[in-house]
Amino acid sequence: LTQERCAVQRLPFSTVSEEDLAAFECIIPGRVTTDPEELEAHNVDWLRTHRGCSKVLLRPRTSQEVSHILRHCYKRNLAVNPQGGNTGMVGGSVPVFDEIILSTALMNQVVSFNSVSGILVCQAGCVLEELSRYVEEQDFIMPLDLGAKGSCHIGGNVATNAGGLRFLRYGSLHGTVLGLEVVLANGTILNCLTSLRKDNTGYDLKQLFIGSEGTLGIITAVSILCPPKPKSVNVAFLGCPGFAEVLQTFSTSKGMLGEILSAFEFMDAECMQLVGRYLHLACPVQESPFYVLIETSGSDAGHDADKLGGFLEHLLGSGLVTDGTLATDQKKIKMLWALRERITEALSLDGCVYKYDLSLPVERLYDLVTTLRAHLGPCAKHVVGYGHLGDGNLHLNVTAEAFSTSLLAALEPHVYKWTVDQQGSVSAEHGVGFKKRDVLGFSKPPEALQLMCQLKTLLDPRGILNPYKTLPSRA
Ligand code: FAD
Ligand code: MLT
Ligand code: ZN
C-alpha cells in the first residue's frame, strides 16, 4: 500500500465538509458519490499497488461543470485527482490521501467527426475502443491502440501521452492531437480545441498538457487526427532462436516491408509461458526463445501479400525465424494480438509485479533482462522482457510471490542507472505518476526539473491538481 511503502506526508489541503458536498450537489445533482463501496474501485489502481482513501467521487458531464467544481476546490484549497479509466501503470490515477476524485466517465460524447479530414472531436471520457468502433464505421481508425482500450479514456491517453501498439506507424499523440480543451486549476476554461493541421500562432500550449498526467489541468475535450482505415491488414507471428535474430528480423522488415510495416512487437519465452498458464492462450508456433509480432497495413491486399510472402520466405530461408504463422482474417489477427496485448494481465496474476518501462537503444534492449535473470536467481519468480521493439521500448517486468524490500533494493536504482548509462529513458510511455516521481532525475537535468516546477506553480499555484504526482517529492 502507498503509505506503507513510501513515507509521504499529506499536504495541508482542506478536508471535504458537508458544505462542500452541498456545493458539489448543486453543480452536478445526483452525481456526487460518497458511498465507500462505490468509491473502492476508484481508490485502487489497476495493478492494485496503490490505494488512496478518497471520500468523494464527482462525475461531471460538461466542461462548465468541471470549471465550477474546480473554481470551488481552488477557493477552498481542496485537492483533486483527475481520473479516466484508471488503467494507468504508475499510480497516478488514484489519490494518495483523501483527494477528491474527478472522473470523466460521464463525459463520453462525440462532438463531431469530419469524414474528409478524419478529424474527431470528442469529450475526454470517451472510451478508446468505443471511439475506434465509431470511426471504423466511417472507414477511419484511431491513431493509437493499446491493451487497455476497453477501459481507458481518450483524456487519460492524452494525459499520459500513451504510446501503445500503433506508435511505430502513426507516431506520438504530440503529433496526432490537434487541439485540446482544458480546465485549469482555478476553473478557467482554456479553449485550444482547434481542428487545424497547421497553426503557428505562438506557443503550442496544448503540448504542455499532453503527458502532464493531470497535474496542470483537466483535459475535457480532444481533437485528434484519425488515419484512413487500411484496406488490407496482415499479422505474422514468428518464433526467433535468439535476440540477435529478433534484431535482424526488425532491420529486414524495415527494408523489405517498408511503408506497409505498421507494428513490430516482441515477447520472450517466459511471457508466452505466462499467457499460456494464466489465460490459457495457446502458442501458435513452435516453442522459441523469442517471438515477434509483425503487422502490415496497406491499401492493396495483393501487393501486401506479395511483399509479406517474400519477406517471410527470406526469414525462414536465412534461419532468422524458425517457425511462423500468418493471419489475414480479423478473427485470427485478434487472436495473435491477444498473445502480446494480454501479457500485462498474465503478469498481474503471477504475483507482485515490479514494472519497468524503458527507452533504450534497440541493440541493447534485452541485455538487462538477461543479466537481471542471472543476478536475481530464485529471488524472482519471473524476469520477463516484451514491448514495442520497433520504438526502442522495453517492458521489463519482475514477479515475486510478495513484495520484498530486498528484491526492490536489488532492482533499484540498478535498473535506472543502467538505463541512463545507455542514454535511455526511465519512463518510455507510462509516465511518472506517483511511482516514478523520484527517479525523474535519472532522465532529466536539474534545470529541466526546475522549469517543470515553475510551470506547475504558474498553472496551479495552490498545487491542488494531482498532488504528490509527476514532480519530484523534494522539489
Ligand atoms: P487513468 O489511468 O485514469 O489516469 C492516468 C493519468 O492521467 C493519471 O495521472 C490521471 O490523473 C490523469 N488523467 C486521466 N484523465 C485525465 C484528464 N481528463 N485530464 C487530466 N488528467 C487526466 N500505456 C501505454 O502508453 N502504452 C501501452 O501499450 C499501454 N498498454 C496498457 C495495457 C494495459 C492492459 C493496461 C492496464 C495499461 C496500459 N497502458 C499503456 C497504461 C496507460 O497509461 C493507460 O492505459 C492509459 O493511457 C491511461 O488512460 P486512463 O483513461 O485509464 O487514465
Ligand atoms: C504494454 O505494452 O503491454 C503496456 O505498456 C502495458 C505493460 O507494460 O505491461
Ligand atoms: Zn507498452
Task: Provide CB contacts within 8 A for 250, sequence distance 6+.
Answer: 264, 292, 362, 389, 390
CA of 403 to the centre of ligand 1 (A): 24
CA of 322 to the centre of ligand 2 (A): 26
CA of 294 to the centre of ligand 2 (A): 17
Q: Would you state the pLDDT for residue 138?
A: 98
Q: Would you state the pLDDT for residue 2?
A: 42
Q: What is the full per-residue pLDDT of the chain (475 aa) written as tens digits?
A: 444 446 899 999 999 999 999 999 999 999 999 999 999 999 999 999 999 999 999 999 999 999 999 999 999 999 999 999 999 999 999 999 999 999 999 999 999 999 999 999 999 999 999 999 999 999 999 999 999 999 999 999 999 999 999 999 999 999 999 999 999 999 999 999 999 999 999 999 999 999 999 999 999 999 999 999 999 999 999 999 999 999 999 999 999 999 999 999 999 999 999 999 999 999 999 999 999 999 999 999 999 999 999 999 999 999 999 999 999 999 999 999 999 999 999 999 999 999 999 999 999 999 999 999 999 999 999 999 999 999 999 999 999 999 999 999 999 999 999 999 999 999 999 999 999 999 999 999 999 999 999 999 999 999 999 999 999 987 6
* Ordered DSSP codes for 12-67: S-----HHHHHHHHHHSTT-EE--HHHHHHHHB-TTS--B-----EE---SHHHHH
Q: Does domain 350-430 have CATH number 3.30.530.20?
A: no
Cβ atoms < 10 Å from Cβ of 287: 12
Q: Would you state the pLDDT for residue 474?
A: 77
Q: How far apart are CA 112 and CA 226, in angstroms?
A: 13
Distances (CA, A) of 405 to 4, 5, 352, 363, 385: 12, 9, 12, 31, 22
What CATH number does the domain located at 232-343 have? 3.30.70.2190
Would you call 227 exposed, middle or buried from its count of C-beta atoms within 10 A (0-12, 13-18, 19+)? Answer: middle
- Choose which residue among 62, 83, 99, 215 to substitute to test ligand 1 binding: the one with the highest number of ligand atoms within 8 A of its C-beta: 83
Q: Is 376 helix (H, G, I), strand (E, B) or coil?
A: helix
Q: How far apart are CA 178 and CA 449, in angstroms?
A: 26
Q: Check if 214 has its Cβ closer than 6 Å to any atom of ligand 2.
A: no
Q: Do domains 2-106 and 110-225 have the same CATH topology?
A: no
Q: Give the domain 110-225 fold.
A: 3.30.465
CATH of 2-106, one of 3.40.50.150, 3.30.43.10, 1.10.3720.10, 3.20.20.70: 3.30.43.10
Q: Check if 223 has its Cβ closer than 6 Å to any atom of ligand 2.
A: no
CA 415 to the chain's CA centroid? 20
Place of cell 520484498: 404
CA of 114 to the centre of ligand 1 (A): 26
CA of 389 to the centre of ligand 3 (A): 10
Q: Is the dihedral of CA 302, 339, 175, 186 positive or negative?
A: positive
- Structural domain spans, the chain: 2-106, 110-225, 232-343, 350-430
Q: Where do the DSSP E strands lie in 85-217?
A: 100-103, 110-114, 119-123, 177-183, 189-192
Q: How far apart are CA 347 and CA 340, in angstroms?
A: 12
Q: Would you state the pLDDT for residue 4?
A: 43
- Choose which residue among 46, 145, 161, 343 to substitute to test ligand 2 binding: the one with the highest number of ligand atoms within 8 A of its C-beta: 343
CA of 473 to the centre of ligand 1 (A): 21
Q: Would you state the pLDDT for residue 475?
A: 64
Q: Which amino acid residue places its CA nearest to atom 7 of ligand 2? A: 344
Would you call 387 exposed, middle or buried from its count of C-beta atoms within 10 A (0-12, 13-18, 19+)? Answer: buried
Task: Please name which ligand lies nearest the alpha carbon of 431.
Answer: 1
Q: How far apart are CA 32 and CA 199, in angstroms?
A: 39
* 295 neighbors 268 (Cβ within 8 angstroms): no
* 456 neighbors 467 (Cβ within 8 angstroms): no
Identify the bridge partners of residue 121 per DSSP, sorted by sequence position: 112, 223
Task: Provide CB contacts within 8 A for 378, sequence distance 6+.
Answer: none
Task: Please name which ligand lies nearest the alpha carbon of 397.
Answer: 2
